[in-house]
A and B are shown apart, each in its own frame.
Chain A
Amino acid sequence: MKTGEIAAEDRKVALFNLGFAYSAFLIGTLCGLLQVFIRNDALKLPEWLDYYQILTAHGLLLAIVFTTFFIFAFFQAGMSRTLGAFGPKVRLWNWVGFAVTALGTILVVVMVVAGQASVLYTFYAPLQAHGLFYVGLALFVIGTWIQGFSLVGHYAVWRRNHKGELSPLFAFMAIATIILWVIACLGVVATVLFQFIPWAFGWTSGINVELSRSLFWYFGHPLVYFWLLPAYMAWYVIVPKIIGGKVFSDSLARLSFVLFILFSIPVGFHHQLTEPGISSFWKFLQTVLTFMVIIPSLITAFSMFATFEIRGRELGGRGLFGWIRKLPWRDVRFTSIFIAMAFFIPGGAGGIINASFQMNEVIHNTLWVVGHFHITVGTPVAMTFFGLTFWLIPNLTGRRFTKSLQKLAFLQIATWSIGMLLMSTAQHLLGLLGAPRRTAYTGYAHDDALAWFDGLLTNHVTMAVGGSILFLSAVLLVFIVIQLWWLAPKADEQTYEAFPIAESDSSMTPRFLENWKIWIGIAFLLIALAYTIPLAEIIQHAPPGSGRFQTW
């Protein structure tokens, strides 16, 4: 049996992260299933459980816990694979970081289950959860920082030993993502440590609500890029190898990640376009910066199609689109991620609409937004992660991704796609009709609201049908994960699932792309430009602070 690709000790920490991720995934998707039924008045929860508790759990467990634990598993495995086995210190700190992240998560979940924190994953003040909820959030972030910095340490050792060389593309991208994450978290750490915790424990009496919202969204938008970039890593580095090709352009791949560091942070106001306290000038400036962050995604779109076309032509595809037929559609590791990419086309287009200043009023806080993030993080990111899971777990456990499991995997991605298509289309359209997000059964006695329950696609029932299919798909995925982890037959030399890393020709890549000091410096300049004055205004013109409210 050959499992020597990644050091055994490193595999273990990645597997623990994966295990945590998929536990959160199962509970989180179950919460989602309950939600779509409650919204249809088709289900009554027992007394001790509340819709908004479930909604908080669904958001936190899927958008935060599943993604983050999965991402670190992927990074740990990939960094060990591309830069070599971790040293003892790096390994130790990865474990410490994992433990702190897990502890924070458990604290948060306990508070939510206890009914002390039905504040949703945005935890907007002055809704006040139990102080330990915020302590849990802080621990979660600190844990990810420890894991992140230990991977940076691993990378630093590699660079010291390879002076003048560009790092492997995977490592470069992982480091870029970690830099993005650390800078992004500064906002949420500031508001949690200096605003929420003192206020929730009663050491201060009031909270500056608008400041806390602005700091949250300083974090909240790059957060979505923290989810997306690991998916892009899979698209750039993993997928070309799976289809037998190469990275289309090493320099453009690196450039796009640099652009994400620069432009994904100073844009948080586009989540606050309809609120007071921020002048239209600053909102519009951040709208312009938001549009800058679209460009690296345009670069990525081209790179993906080019990778596919070049490979398809190598395999004998002719004419304009003959190359499409030559792609390995029978390989679920590829097909899953291809579908994930396809979902990102309307997902990204919707994102441009959301950020388009006053057009935000059409969709803000409607079901459209829910539809939007289910076809961004919920499919492009999540299904890319599924596609990675199919080989990553067997790679780490030394088992086989058997033919029958591959068939199940096809069923899984098919059901996820159909469920998501139904649910998110219904959500987008209902949102345009004004149906709000984040509500339990929406039985408003008005004709406009009754229209949210008839129609073919514009119907809460369609949404529930989609949601049910999605939950079945989720259960199927967890079944596959369990098989790949403990039950599938052991692999041998021939059947071993490799960790695919595509060849990337970096001979023409400018060296300055890996000069992080430049990019971090410019990132902070842009952040200072976009945020200093409006935040100073919010602080200077602060109204008397808001008290503590528990309205659930």
Chain B
Amino acid sequence: MKKSGPSQPNLKGTLISVMAVGVVIVVMWVCIYLLYIVRM
């Protein structure tokens, strides 16, 4: 895979958006995991 920095499209917004999706996934998962622990 060759370096092609300038030819890559600008996807900063995409990165932030998917990371927001990642945060939703992690937060929801942690909440339910904590609920599991509390009810143990």
What's the Cα separation between A363 and B13 when bound, in Å?
34
CB distance from A267 to the nearest CB of B (A): 18
Q: Are A361 and B29 in contact (CB under 8 A)?
A: no
Complexed CA–CA distance, A352 and B30 (Å): 11
Report if A349-B24 is in contact (Cβ < 8 Å); known contacts: A306-B11, A309-B11, A309-B14: yes
Closest residue of B by beta carbon distance from A342: B21
> Across chains A and B, which 6 residue pairs bring their CB atoms closest together, nearest first?
A305-B14, A349-B25, A349-B28, A305-B17, A306-B14, A309-B14
Report yes or no: B14 in contact with A353, Cβ–Cβ below 8 A. no
In A346-383, the 8 Å CB interface with B consists of 346, 348-350, 352-353, 356, 358-359, 361-363
Chain B positions 1-40 with a Cβ under 8 Å from a chain A Cβ: 9-14, 16-18, 21, 24-25, 28-29, 32-33, 35-36, 39
For chain A residues 296-322, which have a beta carbon within 8 Å of chain B?
Answer: 298, 301-302, 305-306, 308-310, 313, 320-321
- Determine if A352 and B29 form an interchain contact, defined as CB atoms under 8 angstroms apart: yes
- Could you tell me the distance in whole angstroms from the C-beta of A390 to the nearest C-beta in chain B? 26
**A window 280-309: CB within 8 A of B:** 298, 301-302, 305-306, 308-309
Q: Which residues of B contact A411 (CB under 8 A)?
A: none
Residues of A contacting B9 in the complex (Cβ-Cβ under 8 angstroms): 306, 309-310, 313
Q: Contact at A359–B36, with CB atoms within 8 Å?
A: yes
B25 to chain A minimum Cβ distance, whole angstroms, is 4
In the complex, chain A residues whose CB is within 8 Å of the CB of B12: 320
- Residues B24 and A346 in contact, CB atoms below 8 Å apart: yes
Pick from B18, B24, B29, B36: contact of A305, CB below 8 A.
B18
Are A321's CB and B36's CB within 8 A? no
Chain A residues contacting B33 (CB-CB under 8 Å) are: 356, 359
Q: Which residues of A contact B32 (CB under 8 A)?
A: 353, 356, 359, 362-363, 432
Partner among A313, A346, A362 whose Cβ is within 8 Å of the Cβ of B39 = A362
Helix, strand, loop or mixed for chain A's interface?
helix
Cβ of A522 within 8 Å of any chain B Cβ, yes or no, is: no
A331 to B38, CA, bound (A): 47
- The answer, among A309, A345, A353, for a CB contact under 8 Å with B13, is A309
CB-CB contacts below 8 Å: A404-444 with B: 432
Please give, as numbers and ranges, the residues of chain B lying within 8 Å of A321 by CB-CB distance. 13, 16
The answer to the question of A324 belonging to the interface, with a C-beta cut-off of 8 Å to chain B, is yes
Chain A, Cβ-Cβ closest to B39: A362
* CB proximity of A287 to chain B, nearest CB, Å: 14
Query: In the assembly, what is the distance between CA of A322 and CA of B24, in Å?
Result: 22
Complex contact A356–B10 (CB within 8 A): no
Query: How far is A309 from B32 in the complex, measured between Cα atoms in Å?
Result: 33
- A323 interface residue (CB < 8 Å to B): yes
In the complex, are the beta carbons of B18 and A353 less than 8 A apart?
Answer: no
Residues of A bordering B, CB below 8 Å:
298, 301-302, 305-306, 308-310, 313, 320-321, 323-324, 345-346, 348-350, 352-353, 356, 358-359, 361-363, 432
Closest-CB distance, A305 to chain B (whole angstroms): 4
Contact check, B28 vs A346: say whether CB atoms are below 8 A apart: yes
How many pairs, one residue from A and one from B, have CB atoms within 8 Å of each other in the complex? 61
Question: Interface of chain B, helix or strand or loop or mixed?
Answer: helix
- CB pairs A–B below 8 angstroms (26 shown): A301-B21, A302-B18, A305-B13, A306-B9, A308-B14, A309-B9, A309-B10, A309-B11, A309-B13, A309-B14, A320-B12, A320-B13, A323-B13, A345-B24, A348-B25, A349-B25, A349-B29, A350-B28, A352-B29, A353-B29, A356-B29, A359-B33, A359-B36, A361-B36, A362-B39, A363-B32
Q: Is the CB of B10 within 8 A of A313?
A: yes
Cβ-defined contact, A353 with B16, below 8 A: no
**CA of A222 to CA of B16, assembled, Å:** 31
Residues of chain A contacted by B17 (CB below 8 angstroms): 305, 309
Kindly list chain B residues whose C-beta atoms are within 8 Å of the C-beta of A301: 18, 21
Chain B: minimal CB distance from A545 (Å):
36
Please report the C-alpha to C-alpha distance between residue A178 and residue B39 in the assembled complex, in whole angstroms: 43
Nearest residue (CB) in B for A298 is: B18
Contacts of A308 in B (CB 8 A): 14
CA distance A359 to B39 in the complex (A): 11
- For B32, the closest partner residue in chain A by CB is A353
Nearest-Cβ distance from residue B33 to partner chain A, whole angstroms = 6
Partner of A302, one of B14, B24, B36: B14
- For the A-B complex with A306-B14, A359-B36 known, give 9 more contacts whose Cβ atoms are closer than 8 Å: A309-B10, A321-B13, A346-B28, A349-B29, A353-B29, A353-B32, A359-B33, A362-B39, A432-B32
Shortest beta-carbon distance, B6 to chain A, in Å? 15
Could you say which residues of chain B place their CB within 8 Å of the CB of A362? 32, 35-36, 39
In the complex, which residues of chain B have a beta carbon less than 8 angstroms from the beta carbon of A359?
32-33, 36
Question: Which of the listed residues B12, B13, B21, B35 has the most CB atoms from chain A within 10 Å of its own CB?
Answer: B13
B21 with A345: CB separation less than 8 A: yes
A320 and B15 alpha carbons, distance in the complex (Å):
10
Hey, which chain A residues are within 8 Å of B35, CB to CB? 362, 432
A296 nearest CB across to chain B (Å): 14
Please indicate the chain B residues that have their CB under 8 angstroms from the CB of A302 in the complex. Answer: 14, 18
A310 contacts across to B, CB distance below 8 A: 9, 11
The residues of B that contact A353 with a CB separation of less than 8 Å are: 28-29, 32
Best-surrounded residue of A301, A346, A353 (most CB of chain B within 10 A) = A353
Give B35's nearest chain A residue, CB to CB. A362
Docked complex Cα distance between A352 and B17 (Å) = 19
